[in-house]
Structure 1
Amino acid sequence: MDVSAVGRQAGVGGSERMILQVQNGHPQIARRTRSSAALPISRLKCRIALGSTCRRVAIGVRAAVRPEEAKKVGGRGEALRRSTVDRPQLFVGLPADAVSDCNTVNHSKAIAAGLKALKLLGVDGVELPVWWGIVEKEAMGKYDWSGYLSLVQMIQDTGLLIRTSLYTHSSSDPAIPLPQWITAIGDSDPSIFFTDRTGNLYRDCLSLSVDELPVLHGRTPLQVYSSLLQSFRDNFHPFLGSTITDILVGLGPDGELKYPSMAGQRNRKPSGAGEFQCYDKNMLAHLKRHAEASGNPCWGLAGPHDAPGYSQAPDSAAFFRDVGGSWETPYGDFFLSWYANHLVSHGDQVLSMAGGLLADLPVQVHGKVPVLHPWSRTRARPAELAGGYYSAGGRDGYAAMAEVFARNGCGVVLPGMNLCDGLQPEAMKASPEALLGEMMRAFNRRGVGVWGENQSARGKREGLEKIKETLGKGAVGKFTYQRMGAYFFSPEHFPAFTQFVRSLDWTELPAEDLPVEGDAGIPLSVSASDTTNAREMQTA
């Protein structure tokens, strides 16, 4: 399989011809030549050969023309500037393990070439995942930002913007643990982690029930998160507002504002709605106090006894049944209101802390809210209930959360914008499109800026069309495409992505930017035996 690409990046001083090769899933800028003729539009041509059949895809790419240069190249430059304003800003997520456990830049040459390829395509910026377990790995207050500082400098030198995602959870793929000292505390005091009704611990992040408890060597998690963010501010201050324009703060499992309700179905396709995560001793103590204050102390002994397990269908037990389910009883309303409000309070505290620390800087703070679409076409909407969003029975489960984001001046990141109703299993009774629309309306009504994401690049081609359709409605200001890696630059994916980028900027191309017959690319062999090397850049 042969893959190569040729592009021209234009400026008033001439055009630069760049040959991009993709080998083992890694982009490489193979050769540069200069031309004296100025080209106001860049072209990217991909040549993809499968066996003896070769197909060329010519793709228009926004040129790197500064506004003052665009005036000099005439009417097409003016049209070009209009097109870049009309569409949302487009970012691409860097590999989740872009910085290693040893705080060095992983696959630096591949990432550097990938950044140049994105710039050539006309992408605005990249999303940089920053992990608590790498930065504050060994001891509380002992920070090491060196790997991330090197990578941010590399990105700045390429001319791309950055959305930093500051994650306080761990990752299983790639393996990025929590800080060692947090794990040690958890070994002696497991109540700092979420717990389900059978006693299973969710060790990937701290339970929101300990937000204000001094369980971390005498400090609360909120205090520790605040110190982490302050250290980030101090170390990256030269980049804030210029290169780093947006900061996402982690809010829970997978960085999202939710309970880890699907923890029992990790690495498997979900078959149930998940379980309530309210059984660590601190959550139970809070539930007990709330029940006593409401005049129903018996309601505070535990979570719902008639809720199904992780892999059981929602209607296999009484609580989530659409008709006559326990969620409709006074007890159900009591528990679900408490459970959702506890999540709202956690989000409010973290976003308030982050907003306060960064309020004087020209950066936008964001939080991520999950799109829990399984069973969203039912009355009970059990996946949302278990995840902490009280949407059953026609309630607006996102109004209170949207008000929190608005009050703290934060934007919201909504993932799953590539999901299509037609591709969902009928048995799951899911409508990600309707749910996403409902969520966007809740945040838009309150003036909260929406930033979109796809769930994964490893999806159907229809996903790119769905993203384009959603962005075309004008309700999303910025979009992050997840995530750079071996698959991202593969022949199966990269040509489709470049077509997607082009479609965001133009309705049609001028004749001089259409494919030129006989303009050859440079073939580069990619063999099936290179699978191991292709996984060098993670796609998580």
Structure 2
Amino acid sequence: MEVWWGLVEREEPRVYNWQGYMEIVALARRCGLKVRVVMAFHQCGTGPGDPSWIPLPQWVLEEMDRDPDLAFSDRFGTRNMEYISLGCDILPVLRGRSPIQTYVDFMRNFRDTFKPFLGLTITVIQVGMGPAGELRYPSCPSHKLTWAWRSYELGEFQCYDKYMLASLNACAREIGMHEWGNGGPIGTGNLMHNPEHTEFFRSNGSWNTPYGKFFLEWYSRMLLLHGERICKEAETIFRGIEVRTSAKVAGIHWHYGTQSHPSELTAGYYNTSIRDGYLPIVRMFCKYGFTLCSTCFEMQDADEKQRNPVSSPEGFLRQLLLTARICGIPLEGENSGARLDDKSFQQVLKMSSFYSDDSQIIMTGLSPKSGFFLQ
């Protein structure tokens, strides 16, 4: 169950309305059900005409109107309103509070309000860390992710708001390369380009040059720092309470078969054919006692390669599962779509074996998806 920031703290800062969620949790307790809560600090849906439309809180949107750079921006100046730019994570841009402080206050108020249910009815709290609740940049709008794996979409680097640019510029100055701090890479093509036809993403492209390494290390480090800030605060808030905390990594697999993995790079995962970009994330989650959540468990390479020859959901998931196994971190799995047939279930069993040959699989309902827990 997503607990939406945009609904609970909608009108004014620090004014929380939990009534609807309290009724649902109380109903679950009467029915003997368990609740898996997602702290949803992101936008839901595509716009006011979408029946599932839930924007960020109204008072936050008012601040974004005053300062558009609170939203992520790509090289074309396109603003993404799904999630506040992590470039201003610790700056008092939200009426005297930073975005991290607002997330902390929200989680703390949730803990205090639902204290009688924690550990009994509410057993899992997944902490949102980006668009769709996933630790990533909004390189590809979330509403496209349902079909993006059937395309060649590369995504766009989200580093052009003034807060992200200030951080990039400072890092470039530190190493004496001022010209590297003016924006993202050039030669990235358009969204639907073949990566091999781009200067940056092709096999021998500039992603693997000193400049490319500098930029991608900075870009991914900013995302990791954002995740660590939230993990650290959430661990403190829910410490001593018998609930499992988790965080989610996006299953971005549609260029996994290339050298540069461009769709992962633009999302903030510095994962290429010569670098493991998920190990730092998994280690960070493990450090704070978080469970790792990911999708794609029911997806098969044979199906996806018919649409995109360089897509590999199995390759992506195999790498993530082996990394999680090495780090000894518990795993939550989800399927990517509402496929509940036997073929999908057998694929779930197959992929879970890469985590542990004797994994215990606990199925849980995650409408319209299903999910499970491995430990």
Out of 354, 361, 375, which is 2:234 matched to?
354
Out of 136, 141, 154, which is 1:263 matched to?
141
Out of 8, 13, 22, which is 1:140 matched to?
13
Q: Find the counterpart in structure 2 of residue 340 from structure 1.
A: 220
For 1:265 and 1:329, the matched residues in 2 are separated by: 33
Q: 1:425 Cα deviation (Å)?
A: 3.3
**1:449–1:477 Cα contact (<8 Å) kept:** no
SS in structure 2 at match of 1:214: coil
Q: Find the counterpart in structure 2 of residue 207 from structure 1.
A: 85
Post-superposition CA distance 1:137-171 (Å, at most 9, x none): 11110100000010011111111111111100011
SS in structure 2 at match of 1:140: coil
**1:257–1:347 Cα contact (<8 Å) kept:** yes
1:234-383 pair list within 5 angstroms: 234-263=112-141, 266=144, 269=148, 270-322=151-203, 324-383=204-263
Q: 1:460 Cα deviation (Å)?
A: 7.0
Where structure 1 has 5 or more consecutive residues not aligned to the other structure, the ranges are 1-127, 489-496, 502-540
Q: In the superposition, relative to structure 1, how do residues 461 and 424 fare at CA in structure 2: closer, same or farther (>3 Å)? A: farther
Q: 1:394 Cα deviation (Å)?
A: 2.0
For 2:33 and 2:177, the matched residues in 1 are separated by: 56
For 1:363 and 1:386, the matched residues in 2 are separated by: 33
Matched, 1:184 2:65: no
Q: Find the counterpart in structure 2 of residue 26 from structure 1.
A: none
Matched, 1:437 2:310: no
Query: Is 467-476 or 219-228 further displaced after alignment?
Result: 467-476
Q: Find the counterpart in structure 2 of residue 154 from structure 1.
A: 27
**1:256–1:367 Cα contact (<8 Å) kept:** yes
**2:56–2:82 Cα contact (<8 Å) kept:** yes
Letter in 2 for 1:131: W
Q: 1:411 Cα deviation (Å)?
A: 0.8
For 2:161 and 2:235, the matched residues in 1 are separated by: 29
For 2:362 and 2:283, the matched residues in 1 are separated by: 20
For 2:359 and 2:62, the matched residues in 1 are separated by: 44
Q: In the superposition, relative to structure 1, how do residues 265 and 244 fare at CA in structure 2: closer, same or farther (>3 Å)? A: closer
For 1:281 and 1:342, the matched residues in 2 are separated by: 14
Q: 1:317 Cα deviation (Å)?
A: 1.3
Post-superposition CA distance 1:302-330 (Å, at most 9, x none): 100111222222222110001x2111111
Q: 1:430 Cα deviation (Å)?
A: 1.2
Query: Is 445-454 or 460-469 further displaced after alignment?
Result: 460-469
Q: 1:479 Cα deviation (Å)?
A: 4.6
For 1:450 and 1:483, the matched residues in 2 are separated by: 19
**1:449–1:476 Cα contact (<8 Å) kept:** no
Letter in 1 for 2:344: G
Q: Find the counterpart in structure 2 of residue 404 from structure 1.
A: 284
Q: Tell me the matched-pair count.
A: 360
Matched, 1:395 2:247: no
Post-superposition CA distance 1:270-328 (Å, at most 9, x none): 33211111111100010000001112111111100111222222222110001x21111
Q: 1:240 Cα deviation (Å)?
A: 0.3
Q: 1:444 Cα deviation (Å)?
A: 2.0
Q: 1:481 Cα deviation (Å)?
A: 4.5
Q: Find the counterpart in structure 1 of residue 36 from structure 2.
A: 163
**2:317–2:351 Cα contact (<8 Å) kept:** no
Post-superposition CA distance 1:62-117 (Å, at most 9, x none): xxxxxxxxxxxxxxxxxxxxxxxxxxxxxxxxxxxxxxxxxxxxxxxxxxxxxxxx
**1:264–1:274 Cα contact (<8 Å) kept:** no
For 1:136 and 1:154, the matched residues in 2 are separated by: 22
For 2:309 and 2:218, the matched residues in 1 are separated by: 27
1:413-424 pair list within 5 angstroms: 413-424=293-304
1:222-233 pair list within 5 angstroms: 222-233=100-111
Letter in 2 for 1:412: L
For 2:292 and 2:304, the matched residues in 1 are separated by: 25
Q: Find the counterpart in structure 1 of residue 264 from structure 2.
A: 384
Q: In the superposition, relative to structure 1, how do residues 181 and 333 fare at CA in structure 2: closer, same or farther (>3 Å)? A: same
For 1:376 and 1:170, the matched residues in 2 are separated by: 27
For 1:257 and 1:216, the matched residues in 2 are separated by: 21
Q: 1:451 Cα deviation (Å)?
A: 0.6
Q: In the superposition, relative to structure 1, how do residues 144 and 199 fare at CA in structure 2: closer, same or farther (>3 Å)? A: same
* RMSD (Å) for aligned C-alpha atoms: 2.1
For 2:113 and 2:309, the matched residues in 1 are separated by: 46
For 1:398 and 1:467, the matched residues in 2 are separated by: 21
Q: Find the counterpart in structure 2 of residue 483 from structure 1.
A: 367
> Which structure has the larger Rg?
1
Letter in 2 for 1:326: S
For 2:76 and 2:341, the matched residues in 1 are separated by: 37
SS in structure 1 at match of 2:348: helix
Letter in 2 for 1:240: L
**1:453–1:480 Cα contact (<8 Å) kept:** no
For 1:189 and 1:390, the matched residues in 2 are separated by: 29
**1:166–1:248 Cα contact (<8 Å) kept:** yes
Q: 1:463 Cα deviation (Å)?
A: 2.3
Identity of aligned residues (%): 36
**2:185–2:200 Cα contact (<8 Å) kept:** yes
For 1:262 and 1:141, the matched residues in 2 are separated by: 31
For 2:116 and 2:55, the matched residues in 1 are separated by: 29
Letter in 1 for 2:19: S
For 2:312 and 2:360, the matched residues in 1 are separated by: 19
Instruction: Give the TM-score, by structure 1 length.
Output: 0.64
Q: In the superposition, relative to structure 1, how do residues 394 and 475 fare at CA in structure 2: closer, same or farther (>3 Å)? A: farther
Larger relative strand fraction:
1
**1:457–1:482 Cα contact (<8 Å) kept:** no
SS in structure 1 at match of 2:114: helix
Q: 1:465 Cα deviation (Å)?
A: 2.5
Post-superposition CA distance 1:446-465 (Å, at most 9, x none): 12110101111058763233
Q: Which has the higher contact order (CA 8 A, sep 6+)?
A: 1
